[in-house]
Amino acid sequence: MSVNSDDIAEFEAEIPLDTLPLDAWHRACGGRMVAFAGYDMPIQYEGIMAEHAWTREHAGLFDVSHMGQLSFTGEAVDVALETMLPGDIIGLKPFRQRYSLLLDEEGGILDDLMVSRRPDDIYMVVNGATKFDDIGWIIEHLPDEITMNHMDEQALLALQGPEAGAALASLIPGTTDLFFMQCGAFNWNGFDLWVSRSGYTGEDGFEISLPGEAAEAFADALCALDAVKPIGLGARDSLRLEAGMPLYGHDIDTQVGPIGADLGFAVSKRRKEQGGFFGHARVMKELAEGAPSRRIGLTIEGRLPAREGATILTGGKPVGTVTSGGFAPTVGAPIAMGWVEAAHAIIGTALEVEVRGKRLTATVAPMPFVPHRYHRQKI
């Protein structure tokens, strides 16, 4: 589901919700709270469009503490995790991070996640809406000698945007040494922080794991800087859509595999050759023969956005479905992400999307829609 002002009502729920460590802070900052992934979370403060633009131009602070933070220890822990993840975990160097996928026995995607090697453990961040299912699946398939710790007392904040590096360095100078997908341990006012240079907006930025009790003071210190403002779920979603990043449960799920999802980069060369992970046969089959359907990006003519569930057609025949969509503030036009039959997934293919009884002209477009601006290390 794409989060925007038209869809806010879809996040309302009459169920008991957990609260984030920063719940009172969000409300004091004027955050409009909605139900998401079992939590009360801020969808916006000043407005989605303004928050989106601020993050593209300055630095936005996102509370992503609903996500699951897991720690794994034990002999050959990386070997054990490689049963479920198709990435090269054994070869992951200390203080490095990697995007990966949690796969079921048939190669369906249970979740997408980030995994890091710390000095004393393997650290993993999984999606909030799936974290308890992920935990159950992982425990079921971990050998007894591996210990998993759900770090549920930790908060997780994301600082994103072109001014994020300077902003964070003003509080923690050592973070300037980090490049994209590098991470490290830092201390701020006596609290231990784990910081990675990463995020889910396409901008330079950081994700900061810290004790929940320190979250409010740290958020206050960041937002006291001229470059930083709190940003809600709505802008986080529009930013990640422009960045061409899938949202689990909408753009990817257990019905699809890494190759069709255009996430083949998460399957390392060694793992393709050696196998030993759930879904290896499916990955190799789809690499050789092609996946029957593919995740694509779409640009749409006009101003009317296509939302999740809209039918994608060619010649009046349905060939796919929109899985995320909305008006892209940076692009200045509607964009969407969806799945189509492989024959219609070629860049430049002309298609149509049915929205409110109208057929909108759409074109298969390369992703990201807005270029990534990661702080990469020059080699």
Cβ-in-10-Å burial (0-12, 13-18, 19+) of 356 comes to exposed
Q: Kindly report, residue by residue over 275-326, the tens digit of the pLDDT.
A: 999 999 999 999 999 999 999 999 999 999 999 999 999 999 999 999 999 9
Domains and CATH numbers, the chain: 5-65+153-242 (3.30.1360.120), 292-379 (2.40.30.110)
Bridge partners, 35 (sequence order): 40
Is the pLDDT at 15 greater than 70, yes or no?
A: no
**Nearest to residue 210, comparing CAs of 150, 156, 152?**
156
Length of the chain: 379
How is residue 174 written in tokens? 């050592």
Is the pLDDT at 172 greater than 90, yes or no?
A: yes
Cβ-in-10-Å burial (0-12, 13-18, 19+) of 158 comes to buried
The CB density around residue 103, as the number of other CB atoms within 10 Å, is 27
Is the Cα torsion angle 316, 322, 327, 330 positive or negative in sign?
negative
pLDDT band at 379 (very low <50, low <70, confident <90, very high): confident
Is the pLDDT at 8 greater than 80, yes or no?
A: no
Cβ-in-10-Å burial (0-12, 13-18, 19+) of 292 comes to exposed
State the average pLDDT over residues 333-356: 98
At 22, phi and psi to the nearest 5?
A: -100, 20
- Cα angle 143, 154, 117 (rounded to 5 degrees) comes to 50
Q: Kindly report, residue by residue over 112-126, the tens digit of the pLDDT.
A: 999 999 999 999 999
Task: Name, in order, each residue with C-beta under 8 angstroms of 127's C-beta and a sequence gap of 6 or more.
Answer: 37, 67, 68, 111, 112, 113, 134, 248, 249
What pLDDT score does 16 carry?
A: 80
Which segment of 7-11, 13-17, 180-184, 253-257 scores lowest on mean pLDDT? 7-11
Average pLDDT across the chain, whole number? 95
Q: Kindly report, residue by residue over 123-166, the tens digit of the pLDDT.
A: 999 999 999 999 999 999 999 999 999 999 999 999 999 999 99
* CB distance 325 to 306 below 8 Å: yes
Cis peptide leading into 366, omega within 30 of 0? no
What is the SS3 assignment for 313? strand
What pLDDT score does 240 carry?
A: 98
What pLDDT score does 255 carry?
A: 97
The CB density around residue 276, as the number of other CB atoms within 10 Å, is 11
What pLDDT score does 378 carry?
A: 85
Beta sheet of 109-117, edge-to-edge order: 97-103, 109-117, 122-126, 68-73, 147-150
